[in-house]
Structure 1
Amino acid sequence: MTQPHPEQQYLDLMRHVWLEGDERVDRTGIGTRSVFGATLRFDLSDGAMPLVTTKRVYWKTATRELLWFLTGETNIRPLVLQGVKIWNEWPHARYVEQTGDDLPLDDFVARIAGDEGFAAQWGDLGPVYGKQWVDWPTYRPVAGGLFRKGRGVNQIAELVDSLRMNPGSRRHIIEGWNVAEVPEMALPPCHKTYQFHVSSGDTGEMAKLNGILYQRSCDIALGLPFNLWSAALLQRMLAEQADLEPGELVWMGGDTHLYLNHAHLIAEQLSREPRGHPRLEIVRRPASIFDYRIEDFAVHDYMPHGAIKAPVAV
């Protein structure tokens, strides 16, 4: 029998949540249909990637965001200067709330791009993803019962070393949920916990890197296509840096939901059939995982249906 297209899992999850999910009031006030607990599995061998084809996914935007995470940066200005818009709404909402100035979003973003001082004051998101990934804060006790800030933990660098030196470990983990700093974040991490596993493979084959992403909150329509691409890309980069072959990506969702104002997107996307089998080529292996550039990635055989626009819930 012909195997179903890997993307069919995603479409089946969307259909299940929309038809059978529990209707709930959420933080944004828009409302969702939601299920708790979902799993998707994707084979990343031979360059395969979970890049959704039933609508266009701007994989370069998602890639630029991932590379931004790996810098540890938390200000949106580097993204804005690359034309990446996905984080703009959160600092804009904070600006409007705190200043009372109902500056249009496009004008706010233009000021972020053109005025470094304004960006420093209003473009920061707090200690979100990248800060926790490469500079998790530590503190050491000093005299008088006080604590002094210590050297941050670079979870990414430690993970690469661990994959190389101790592949059998069960501690290949990246954690983004820093309980003490969650209140300072513009948005607490949705894709919060990554764990990796090195399998020995068949005799004569290179060992494979498998990965699990646990996502506490997942917007299936807008967020999940980006999250799947980014998780798979990170796994591919880690595998290359650790001299491993990419294996399986397992995605696990906690509160897995669709927003009620995305009905038109859902109906349109579910009417489409997946097509093609997108593959990722990494055209250059840099000296470290922190040295990749957008030009290092090429996608082949990606022939998606058209984009479907829908509002972002902030």
Structure 2
Amino acid sequence: MGLLGGFLGGYLGQLAGASSAPTSSGTPGGSAGTVTGFCDAATVAARVLPAIVTINVVSSAGGGVGTGSIIRDDGYILTNNHVISDAANGATIIVTFSNGQQVPATLIGRSPQADIAVVKVDIGSKLPAVAIGDSDMLAVGQPVVALGAPLGLSSTVTAGIVSALGRDVPVASDDGGAALLAGAIQTDAAINPGNSGGALVDCNGAQIGVNSAIATVPNSAGQAGGGSVGIGFAVPVNLAMSLANQLIDTGKVSYPYFGMQVVAIPQDVAEKFNTEPGLFVEGVTPGGPAEKAGIQAGDIITALDGQSATDVAALTRIKLTKKPGDTVEVSYLRGTEKGTATVTLGEAP
């Protein structure tokens, strides 16, 4: 079994001193083209590489290298939060274009929960921007190309396929909480530390994901090893762009909330108490969305929007993929009675 190798972009080298890479919490569109075979990687590279940048984050304590993609010709760049998180504490961001030009960048905003961030450069002229695809149209087996700066090697191109879709990959967050790559795209295109924040694109060169994490094989000490074993994960571009647009417009992301506190009931515990696995509702916020919908403390939530809810990541996924005002169908168990409720999500304070 592989362990999630954690965040990739933290090829945290010795730019100005020692630092350590963050690790994961687990042991983890216009998408045209045939579903079999491989992309013409040379054509894709020529089309996309001008819109791919290497991101260096430098501070007195050290630094790191990651990747970003230019998503607007006025200088907005999409990347992972873990690539630039030190900039929130005063570190300097330097962007290197494919032609070698280096310019400083400004942090626009970030979502630690989804591991997405936006930075911006100003050079007084239009920049080549990547085309944005539709990650909802992907198919397993579809050929893809990954572009980035693995181990700091800028303008690196690898090819593979979409290995799986809809993976929820928990990873550590720099704010001390948990982040989730919600509905992640799994690919066997080689991704390594430094690729984080780079583009996963289809055969037309349209970005369909943000390369973010890998699974690795434990070493002899039982710790996660480094390097690609053909299991990488990318944030779907539809989700990434939804968050990026909010960051560009307001500098922050508006998350929805249920207004309830839950804890997961594992399968073995459920069997011991002769109940179903799910999310045990410890409490509800008075006047909050869950209470208004009829959810009560003591209920066991078994499904959210028709998907089984066996861990807290199910709630996190709703938080990242829904908006305030959206509705969520909740299936629950109250004692021995089953019920459903429709929760209209509120806006988190």
TM-score by length of 1: 0.23
Q: Looking at secondary structure, tell me which structure has more helix per residue.
A: 1
Greater relative contact order (Cα < 8 A, sep 6+): 1
TM-score by length of 2: 0.21
